[in-house]
């Protein structure tokens, strides 16, 4: 069993140039409500500074120090957030794209999809875009506990096939039931090249 990640809130920044110096970064992306904040809290064993839900915060790259690994965990603005005014969407979308494409320290992008409802059109667009640009990514399906056990095998096959991935390539998690979290902590340590404890 891997230990929870030691995540310490550092700063939220609106621009790539303001990111803290880091050896390696893991980013979490997904549309709003997919379970990003819940996942980050679960990875940290419930011990991160609570992520504010104020709309302003959601447009920032929210950085957490990953203790002992000399690495940073970056919570990205939720894409496809229909309620954000268009002007705001237009201002941070290019920033997010630049971050995901150009940041050299970025070793992995976790793309969250809602396991209960499956990948949306904007999730598949994001996935296609990451593939097209050859950016390192892993699909994480959230809310595993919301899928009926009798339906789980079928859902897992469907999500993998919609994402055009083998079933083993999709990490299934439940932040609510703490399922799949320990394995994901191990993967984060592997990705940043640090020690697992």
Q: Where does this chain bind ligand GDP (CB under 6 A)?
A: 30, 32-38, 78, 142-143, 145-146, 174-176
Nearer to ligand GDP, 37 or 138 (CB): 37
Contact predicate 156/164, CB 8 Å: no
Nearer to ligand GDP, 78 or 80 (CB): 78
DSSP assignment letter at 148: -
Nearer to ligand GDP, 33 or 161 (CB): 33
Minimum CB separation of residue 37 from ligand GDP in Å reads 3
Minimum CB separation of residue 34 from ligand GDP in Å reads 4
Nearer to ligand GDP, 38 or 182 (CB): 38
Minimum CB separation of residue 46 from ligand GDP in Å reads 13
Token output for 105? 């320290």
CA-based R_g, the chain, Å: 16
Nearest to 96 by CA among 11, 187, 13: 13
Give the strand pairing for 71-75 and 61-66.
Answer: antiparallel
| Integer Cα distance of 23 and 104 in angstroms | 9
């Amino acid at each position: 069993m891997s230990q929870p990640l030691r995540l310490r809130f550092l700063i939220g920044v609106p621009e790539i140039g303001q990111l803290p110096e880091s050896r390696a970064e893991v980013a979490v992306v997904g549309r709003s409500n997919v379970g990003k904040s819940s996942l980050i809290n679960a990875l940290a064993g419930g011990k991160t500074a609570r992520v504010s839900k104020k709309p302003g915060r959601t447009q920032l790259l929210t950085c957490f120090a990953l203790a002992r690994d000399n690495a940073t965990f970056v919570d990205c603005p939720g894409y496809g957030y229909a309620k954000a005014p268009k002007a705001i969407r237009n201002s941070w979308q290019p920033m997010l794209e630049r971050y995901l494409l150009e940041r050299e320290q970025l070793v992995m992008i976790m793309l969250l999809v809602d396991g209960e409802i499956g990948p949306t059109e904007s999730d598949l667009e994001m996935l296609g875009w990451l593939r097209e640009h050859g950016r390192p990514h892993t699909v994480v399906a959230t809310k595993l506990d919301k899928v009926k056990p009798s339906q789980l095998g079928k859902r897992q096959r469907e999500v993998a096939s919609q994402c055009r991935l083998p079933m083993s390539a999709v990490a299934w998690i439940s932040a609510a039931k703490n399922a799949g979290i320990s394995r994901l902590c191990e993967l984060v340590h592997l990705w940043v090249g640090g020690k697992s404890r």
